[in-house]
Structure 1
Amino acid sequence: MPKSVYKGKIDPDIDMTGKTVIVTGANTGLGLIAAIDLAKRGARTIMACRNLEKGKQALDEVNEKSKSSNVTLMELDLSSLESVRKFASSFLEKESRLDVLMNNAGVCMCPYTKSVDGFEMQFATNHLGHFLLTNLLLDILKRSAPSRVVTVSSLSHRIGGKVHWNDVNLTNNYTPAKGYGQSKLMNVLFSRELAKRMRGTGVTTYSLHPGAVKTDMQRHLGNIPDPNCSDRMWGCFGGCIRPFFKDPETGAVTQLYCAIAPELENETGRYYSDCRVATESSDGRNDEYAERLWTMSEKLVGLSK
């Protein structure tokens, strides 16, 4: 294991006092565990949550377990570009630095729905929302350098993950697995292109597979209404193996490793699993796809014409 990891946990002596971090989706699962850990280390921890009622309960838990008085809850719905812009504007008004942006939130294998902006929900939440958020915060990340952007992807990007360039909203022949695989491949490509664009700025970027983790993300497994046979098999398989998934405390280790391990300070653009460099799919290593996705995403979120 890397030297920052001991018995499945990150070295407790790594101090984050004086640093500011944002964790999206911090009210449950991996995000909640990450927020507790970072707050324990002294970081000013911003919990970015869609549901403020659940967020307040999670905030109480983070405060209690971390014994920190420097944790803040802010509203962020990544499926809404307006909400992302409001969050970024509010954060920039209040905060003077950002050392770690942890793009953790996501939806998994959900039935076909569209976001308020008209995008397929997994595409909107897992990719476009984090893409816009990161871009709106790049200046403060640069000013705070060395800083890091950590994006939670999934091994699913290798299992049928494909960008459907001519139908990114998957209006034809949608399946939950197809939507999830596409969005998780986009996470890898986004991190890869971001690393290229941030070289020399002190901003480093990482994507990762946390492992099969037992969280609320899997609530749709085993209950997939789509008639597609492969998705029924995926849902049944997922429902059967879910009892053997990692607990969130174990699952969050890799994203924490990417966020704070000192030995990664000069690494960027790589993909990790179990706190080690892993191999992306061939599409995930495609620089042409990474640049194409970036250009397309800029237009869709209104950062370019």
Structure 2
Amino acid sequence: MITGASSGIGRVAAMQLAERGWDVAVVGRNPGRTRDVAAAVSGTAFVADYNSLAEVRALATALLERYPRIDVLANNAGGLVGRRGRSVDGHEQTLQHNHLAPFLLTNLLLPRLVASDARVVNTASLANRGGTIRLDNLDGTGRAYLGGFPAYCNAKLATVLFTRELAKRSPVTAYSFHPGFVSTSFGHNSAFVRWGLSLLASRQISAEQGAQPLVQLASVDSLGAASGTYFDGLYPNGATARRAQDDNLAAQLWDTTARLVGLTDG
């Protein structure tokens, strides 16, 4: 299962994994593109907008009904919202798209993932190094938005922490990774991010190159790295923010997120 598979590295990964004989569930927000990719890989299309946690719940139900076994869940959907806004659930959108929604989907699928001895692969980013986590203000209320980049950094730090804690709390194997500075539509709606990416133009890579870590983490039997490891491209133990190694913060973030998405009371 690959979320965010209608374009970019998710689309490329879906194509490559299908070529290796995998049955791919193609999850995307855009109905036309999602169905086109699913048809191209002889997979099944699932349409869901991460701006609504109700749609995430409906997606989980549809996936569980369709697949008695899940070998890999690739949480690749996300991205950056250039203007501050709230989801239909009242959360800052970049946080919901990159952290809250994947967290909810993974937990709703978790019993099936455990039964399948599955692997979870989460698309993070080197931007996690600029992130901060305030458990009492995950939405960043009152902070400068700056085209969404600080919110994106925070959300990707949350991705790394979520992956580490998932590896501790469950028997599934979990990894997160930075795909590289991929030349896609990422950040196109943020002038601040477009400016920043222009400075990195010489380091940008293709979607085909950026998809390599996702494909490897999903398909290679033995990666030589402990569950919970963050990869920088194809290499384990990439550089992270100092707090990405904080086990107490990871546990607290898990509990806080579970409350925010309605998995626990409070």
TM-score bracket for the superposition, by shorter chain length:
over 0.9
Matches within 5 A, 1:76-91: 76-91=48-63
Cα displacement string for residues 192-242 of structure 1 (whole angstroms, at most 9, x for unaligned residues): 0000011xx3x1000111110011223135x24xxxxxxxxx542323434
1:249 paired to 2:219 = no
Higher alpha-carbon Rg: 1
Equivalent residue for 2:173? 204
Query: How many Å separate the matches in 2 of 1:93 and 1:166?
Result: 36
Query: How many Å separate the matches in 2 of 1:136 and 1:255?
Result: 22
DSSP 3-state at the match of 1:93: helix
Query: How many Å separate the matches in 2 of 1:186 and 1:153?
Result: 9
DSSP 3-state at the match of 1:293: helix
Equivalent residue for 2:96? 124
Query: How many Å separate the matches in 1 of 2:225 and 2:177?
Result: 17
- The aligned length equals 262
Cα displacement string for residues 23-44 of structure 1 (whole angstroms, at most 9, x for unaligned residues): 0010000100110011111111
Query: How many Å separate the matches in 2 of 1:132 and 1:220?
Result: 26
Out of 49, 64, 68, the residue aligned to residue 28 of structure 2 is 49
Q: Residues 89, 109 of structure 1: CA spacing in aligned structure 2 closer, same or farther, 3 A cutoff?
A: closer
Q: Which amino acid aligns with 1:120?
A: E
Equivalent residue for 1:12? none
Query: How many Å separate the matches in 1 of 2:38 and 2:201?
Result: 27
Q: Residues 161, 37 of structure 1: CA spacing in aligned structure 2 closer, same or farther, 3 A cutoff?
A: same
Matches within 5 A, 1:1-305: 22-60=1-39, 62-63=40-41, 69=42, 71-108=43-80, 110-145=82-117, 147-158=118-129, 160-175=130-145, 176-198=148-170, 201=171, 203-221=172-190, 223-224=191-192, 235-242=194-201, 244-264=203-223, 267-277=226-236, 278-305=238-265
Cα displacement string for residues 132-168 of structure 1 (whole angstroms, at most 9, x for unaligned residues): 00000011111111x100000000000x210132321
Q: TM-score, normalised by structure 2?
A: 0.94
Cα displacement string for residues 66-102 of structure 1 (whole angstroms, at most 9, x for unaligned residues): xxx3x01011222211001101111111211000000
- Residue 50 (structure 1) shift: 1.1
Query: How many Å separate the matches in 1 of 2:185 and 2:126?
Result: 18
Q: Residues 212, 109 of structure 1: CA spacing in aligned structure 2 closer, same or farther, 3 A cutoff?
A: farther
Query: How many Å separate the matches in 1 of 2:200 and 2:15?
Result: 27
**Contact in 2 for aligned 1:25/1:48 (Cα 8 Å):** yes
Q: Residues 240, 109 of structure 1: CA spacing in aligned structure 2 closer, same or farther, 3 A cutoff?
A: farther
Any stretches of 5+ residues in structure 1 without a counterpart?
1-21, 64-68, 225-233
Query: How many Å separate the matches in 2 of 1:299 and 1:244?
Result: 39
Q: Which amino acid aligns with 1:215?
A: T
Q: Which amino acid aligns with 2:177?
A: L
Query: How many Å separate the matches in 2 of 1:246 and 1:148?
Result: 26
**% identical equivalent positions:** 36
Cα displacement string for residues 163-203 of structure 1 (whole angstroms, at most 9, x for unaligned residues): 132321112123212100100000000000000011xx3x1
Equivalent residue for 1:6? none
Deviating beyond 6 angstroms after TM superposition, the runs of 4 or more aligned structure 1 residues are none
Any stretches of 5+ residues in structure 2 without a counterpart?
none
